[in-house]
Structure 1
């Protein structure tokens, strides 16, 4: 059995085109932007950012913060280049009005990133049901889009858990969940026992 099994080519699907106008629902705009950003459609990623984002828009996530169209575009071009497929599964969308007549749209979604290779032999060796050894990384991402009065996105924040990301990575996730965390727990337990013994010995020495 081959360690690295090739994947069949995906069939791309395009979201419904939204024509931007004053009557367009902000939630629909946010959903359209989201579906294009979390995809492999590089031209569409560039188009939605240049169309729906303010020129000085800010994008941030737990590890970076960037400003301007080009820098934001680069953040989404990288995953679309690295992964075989990217599939967003939206759980909920909310829209609320905030200060300055701005609107905040929050999209809670599961993003599935699929690698171009599989690891069948590793799954047989370690665990058939271990999600850390497959070729798919699933990450819960809460995207917060802030729209100004001109219905342009001035701030986009993606919120996700670094722990969830590490646990879902092939091989690395297995090492982290099954070895690193358990080993850290054992070491912590030993340190606590040693500390208690030292305190006890110190008290006896003082007596």
Structure 2
């Protein structure tokens, strides 16, 4: 079968077929790899990586030939994930050019993503139309012994302390700002309560002042009446306690 027949929810058989395709694609057997490229790749398939891009099955085959010359050992496939349209392959490349001694070897973690599409609409037959090879900067650094030691034991440690120290300072600043905000709200609440209390006291004082004023006015009126009444009694001694003594 030259096409991959599967659904969007792959079963065990399609998963096994995908695994077989990927293993043959990355094998150092020219016959097995060529069969995969001819039968399971579109003729105009594209291969991309961080450093290059090419189109066409024949050019992709040339790329694999060069890559094989740079590595004495086949890449090690560590995990394959297939969702019915995309296969993500986690692998380790063993960089060991033939022109160098065998002990010169770099292990670089890499990820290859294979994109599938139907050969015809609603046919259910899939082929690969794009291959994306990628690797991380960390993976490249970890592959070099001296650089990886410096990266793990110096750079990471220093950056970790720098970030944690910065975080400590920011946390202290945020905590202080939060406390200041709470203190400001508390002062505002106390000031508002004092203002309300003073307004209530002022209202009571104004009411008391008004009452005292009314009492004072009434007292002056009573005193004025009494002052007017005393001369009248002196001029009329016969007026006793509001009565007139009539002589016989």
Match of 1:157? Answer: 132
1:170-189 aligned within 5 A: 173-174=144-145, 176-177=147-148
CA RMSD of aligned residues (A): 3.1
Asked if 1:118 is matched to 2:102, the reply is yes
Aligned pair count reads 142
* Cα pair distance change 1:180/1:34, threshold 3 Å: same
Structure 2 Cα separation of the partners of residues 79 and 39 of structure 1: 11
Partner of 2:220: none
Secondary structure of the residue aligned to 1:165 is helix
How much has 1:92 moved relative to structure 2? 3.6
Task: Give the SS at the match of 1:85.
Answer: coil
- Closer, same or farther in 2 for the Cα pair 1:167/1:69, shift >3 Å? same
Give yes or no for contact 1:27–1:105 (8 Å, CA) kept in 2.
Answer: no
- The answer to whether the aligner puts 1:148 opposite 2:136 as a matched pair is no
Aligned equivalents of 1:22 and 1:73: distance in 2? 20
Equivalent residue runs for 1:1-207 within 5 Å: 19-20=1-2, 23=5, 25-96=13-84, 103-113=85-95, 117-119=101-103, 135-150=104-119, 151-168=126-143, 173-174=144-145, 176-177=147-148
Supply the distance in 1 between the matched residues of 2:117 and 2:80 (Cα, whole angstroms). Answer: 22
Q: Which structure has the larger Rg?
A: 2
Per-residue deviation, 1:91? 2.1
| Cα-to-partner distance string for 1:80-124 (whole Å, 9 max, x where unaligned) | 12322214232242314xxxxxx11212233445565334xxxxx
The answer for the alignment partner of 2:215 in structure 1 is: none
The 2-side partners of 1:113 and 1:86 are apart by: 10
Q: Contact 1:40/1:81 (CA < 8 Å) preserved in 2?
A: no
Contact 1:86 1:114 in 2 (8 A): no
TM-score (norm 2): 0.47
Superimposed CA distance per residue, residues 146-165 of structure 1 (whole angstroms, 9 cap, x where no aligned partner): 11112110111112124423
Q: Which sections of structure 1, spanning at least 5 residues, go unmatched? A: 1-18, 97-102, 120-134, 184-207
**Structure 2: distance between partners of 1:178 and 1:23:** 47
Give the structure with the larger helix fraction: 2
Q: Any conservation in 1 of the 2:141–2:151 contact (CA below 8 Å)?
A: no
Q: Secondary structure at the match of 1:145?
A: strand
Quick one: structure 1 residues 71 and 21, their matched pair in 2 at CA, closer, same or farther if it must change by over 3 Å? Answer: closer
Counterparts in 2 of 1:136 and 1:33: CA distance versus 1, 3 Å: farther
Higher relative contact order (CA 8 A, sep 6+): 1
| Secondary structure in structure 1 of the residue aligned to 2:118 | coil
